[in-house]
Amino acid sequence: MGTGSHHIHGLCVAVDVHYLSSGAARAAAVVAADPAFTQVLGEHTDLVPEVAAYRPGEFYRRELPPLRAVLQHISGLGLLVIDGYADLDPHGRPGLGAHAHEAFGVPVIGVAKSAFRAAVHAIPVLRGTSARPLFVTAAGMPRADAAQLVRLMPGRFRIPDALRRADQLARAGGLGRVP
């Protein structure tokens, strides 16, 4: 394992947010005991009745309130895994992950499904039998360690199981909620 992974103390959480046509957003969190998400402890969802409209370059303003809502149920957060970028270019232009790192004070791994033109520093990670890489960035920990953790996360498919489950929960709602 990479060197930085043992510095993570606390719960490791994969999160996703789904926006509803009503103007609300549902956030979902999959909580694990370890950064590789081999031991899932529980799941949470939370509904935020109203979120800000999407503004280009300010996605985090829309995404952080639902994340804050779902993460308030989780004490001892040690690592956050998001669907998206931690930073948007090699110069550190902050993406959602950097803003989440600042807001929650823990390392954040960004796992993006599509390439972002300016994000030439993102580490491509191939998983399962997929020929299409995920693009891994990080805030608060080395990118190489983040990429290694994403490589090791359970799941036969391109998207790690924990992020796939967070996406499913965010879309489906309160199914499978664990206290």
**Any domain includes 113:** yes
Query: What digits encode the pLDDT tens for the residues 2-58?
Result: 444 457 889 999 999 999 989 999 999 999 999 989 999 999 999 999 998 877 777
What b-and-e string marks burial along 16-42, b requiring 16 or more CB atoms within 10 Å of the CB?
bbbbeeeeebbbbbbbbebbbbeebeb
Other Cβ atoms closer than 10 A to 147: 22
Say what the pTM is. Answer: 0.90
- Residue span of the structural domain in which 95 resides: 3-172
- On whether residue 112 sits in a domain, the answer given is yes
Residue 178 lies in a domain: no
Whether 101 maps to a domain, the answer reads yes
* Count of structural domains, the chain: 1
pLDDT of residue 76: 95
The pLDDT assigned to 39 comes to 92
Report if residue 177 sits inside a domain.
Answer: no
CB 79 within 8 A of CB 13: yes
List pLDDT tens digits, range 140-155.
Answer: 999 999 999 999 999 9
